[in-house]
Structure 1
């Protein structure tokens, strides 16, 4: 995901090169959580379960091999595809901390799961600020 214009100031000048080193050299072009390969279209069942074509097996959201119960899931009816794109992410959400141990290569879904608490915090803050501004300038909400 591209960096928003207003956030570019927080990233170092060599971020594209640093990101490439983390995603492709250290992680080997695979998500560090679920092991999905970058640039490939994978089949998935939702809830993190996906088909690893190289290993010819199903994997869960943590990259572990799983067995699907015969008749347990309507696999053909629920199979979807997604294109895997890796992104370098800050584990502690601090864009100034670019130490190798703080950076990780995440697939879109894993990145969103990792960032969920931060997104919820920002959403709460935005809604709280809007309500406060409304109270300040338009009176209390009805």
Structure 2
């Protein structure tokens, strides 16, 4: 995931090398949670199960081999392009200990950061409402709501 410009100063100068080391040297260019390969198109069912073409088997969202029971419709299969990112497990960009960093694909990274993203969404709405309350005339806002 790209680093926001306002958060760039939180990361060390050698972040590119550190991230590369975690993603490719330690993880072997595979997600450390689900084992999806970096820069490959992967067929998946949307619930975490994906087709591992190298091993010719279906894998779970944790990278374990699974048997598909009951089958599935071909329309349920989707393709996605996998890109690895280096994630901070404690969400602190200042903590760059090897045990705190993990190579995750975009799906696993989004699942890992879901609570943080929900909080950020709430904070943005809260902040915008506060700014609106400071600068907008409440009579205009009430009139606008009444006209809907």
Same fold (TM over 0.5): yes
Q: C-alpha separation between the residues in 1 aligned to 2:98 and 2:69? A: 40
CA distance in 1, matches of 2:130, 2:6: 24
- 103-112 vs 51-60, greater mean Cα deviation: 51-60
**1:83-94 correspondence runs (5 A):** 83-94=81-92
Pair 1:109 & 2:100 matched = no
1:96 to 71, 76, 94: 94
The number of equivalent residue pairs is 140
> How does 1:17-36 map onto structure 2 within 5 Å?
17-36=17-36
Could you report, residue by residue, the CA deviation over 1:67-89 in whole angstroms, capped at 9, with x for unpaired residues?
1124x421x11211111110001
Q: Which residue of 2 aligns with 1:54?
A: 54
Distance between the aligned counterparts of 1:119 and 1:69, measured in 2? 34
1:133 aligns with 2:131: yes
Q: Separation in 1 of the partners of 2:121 and 2:19?
A: 27
Instruction: Note the alpha carbon deviations across 1:71-115, whole angstroms, 9 max, x for none.
Output: x421x1121111111000101110100000110000000000000
What SS does the aligned partner of 2:102 have?
A: strand
Compare CA radii of gyration and give the structure with the larger one: 2
2:10 pairs with 1:10: yes
Q: Structure 1 length normalisation: TM-score?
A: 0.92
State TM-score, norm by structure 2.
Answer: 0.88
**Cα-Cα RMSD:** 1.4
The alpha carbon displacement at 1:2 in A equals 2.5
Which residue pairs with 1:38 in the alignment? 38
Q: Extract unaligned runs of 5+ from structure 1.
A: none
Alpha-carbon distance in 1 for matches of 2:120, 2:100: 21
